Amino acid sequence: MDGIIVIDKESDYTSFDVVAIVRGILREKKIGHSGTLDPMATGVLPILVGAAAKAQSLLPDTDKEYEADFRLGMTTDTLDITGRVLSECECDIKREDIEGILPSFRGDIMQIPPMYSAVQKNGVRLYDLARQGIEVEREARPVTVTRLELMEFDESAKCGRFIISCSKGTYIRVICDDIGKLLGCGCVMTALRRTSACGYTINDAIKLSELQKYKDEGRTEEILHPVDSIFTCYDRLIVSDKQAVRFSNGASLSLERLKKTADCPDGTILRVYGNKAFIGLGIIDRSAGELKLKKNFFRK
């Protein structure tokens, strides 16, 4: 069984919990996932099965989309509702106050990772230090927020919801916390749902209980997305049968014989197919005049 199964992760499960459960249901050893979701978060978690597990280190940096619930007038050590409360205050924030500062958080921004995160400092996870009550200086990192909108806001309860599209490595908790700082009242994330990741949406996702049902009924293939579906951001290249054999065995292909690559810049990654079957990823090397094999997903 080779492909991607998109799970709608429920809260209180870690991403590794989901991997372990899927491994048990499918009786498949080679299982991976496309990006960690915190236990409190729900939503799209693509699970890489069989040959697709080889893609884990090669996943393209596509935007992810989230719905994030928040509450104003509070701060916690984890920046979300699960943490220890550090401060609470009354605030008189209006919808227009929030919308007025959102442009500051759109586009290319710098973000400091939270202490409760898996980022490493001198080989130690930040969350391990945080649990010991240790806070260390962290370097700000560049992230991109392509969409940030206030979808709902209850002025009396001071609670609302954002929709956020962002690059890999963006911490939604930090966006909420930074918004709270700018408003001068504090803000914590109260819920997080990932609605899109790796080109898949929540409409592609199924619950773990549904996966068990598909397995029991022998219909798992119906919800298995092909391996190449996770690389649709790369252009498709079809090669001849002879070229397919060479490429599958690890040999590079001459760009002179691949006319459709003429306009591809150096370093371009392509999805390579032979006889309509996906072989793997290739990368353009202009200095060598070759298309080199980056990864063959089906070679033993």
CATH of the domain at 29: 3.30.2350.10
This prediction's pTM: 0.90
pLDDT grade for 34, boundaries at 50, 70 and 90: confident
Confidence of residue 201 (pLDDT cuts 50, 70, 90): very high
Domains identified in the chain, total number: 3
How much is the average pLDDT of 287-291? 94
Q: Are residues 103 and 147 in the same domain?
A: yes
| Number of residues assigned to the chain | 300
- 152 and 184 housed in the same domain: yes
Average pLDDT, the chain: 93
Instruction: Enumerate residues 6+ apart whose C-beta is below 8 A from 243.
Output: 253, 257, 258, 274
Question: How high is the pLDDT of residue 299?
Answer: 67
Asked if 73 and 191 sit in the same domain, the reply is yes
Average pLDDT for residues 53-79, to the nearest whole number? 92
Same domain, 90 and 144: yes
Cα radius of gyration (the chain): 22
User: Could you tell me if 71 and 175 lie in one domain?
Assistant: yes
Q: List the CATH number of the domain containing 271.
A: 2.30.130.10
Angle between helix 208-216 and 15-26 (nearest 10): 10
Say whether both 95 and 76 belong to one domain: yes
Please tell me whether residues 78 and 192 are part of one structural domain: yes
Annotated catalytic residue 38 = yes
Nearest Cα to 146, choosing from 121, 164, 161? 164
Does position 300 have pLDDT exceeding 80, yes or no?
no
Contact between residue 73 and residue 185 where contact means Cβ atoms under 8 Å apart:
yes
Does residue 94 sit in the same domain as residue 39?
A: no
151 and 275 in a single domain? The answer is no
pLDDT of residue 200 exceeding 70, the answer is yes
CA distances from 37 to 3, 172, 192, 226 (A): 20, 11, 9, 23
The whole domain housing 41 covers 3-58+199-227
Same domain, 163 and 52: no
Given a cut of 80, is residue 122 above it in pLDDT? no
Is residue 289 left, alpha or beta, with left meaning phi > 0 and alpha meaning psi from -120 to 50? left
Verify that 192 and 205 share a domain, yes or no: no
Catalytic residue among 38, 69, 80, 204: 38
- Whether 192 and 70 map to the same domain: the answer is yes
Q: What percent of the chain has a predicted confidence (pLDDT) above 70?
A: 99
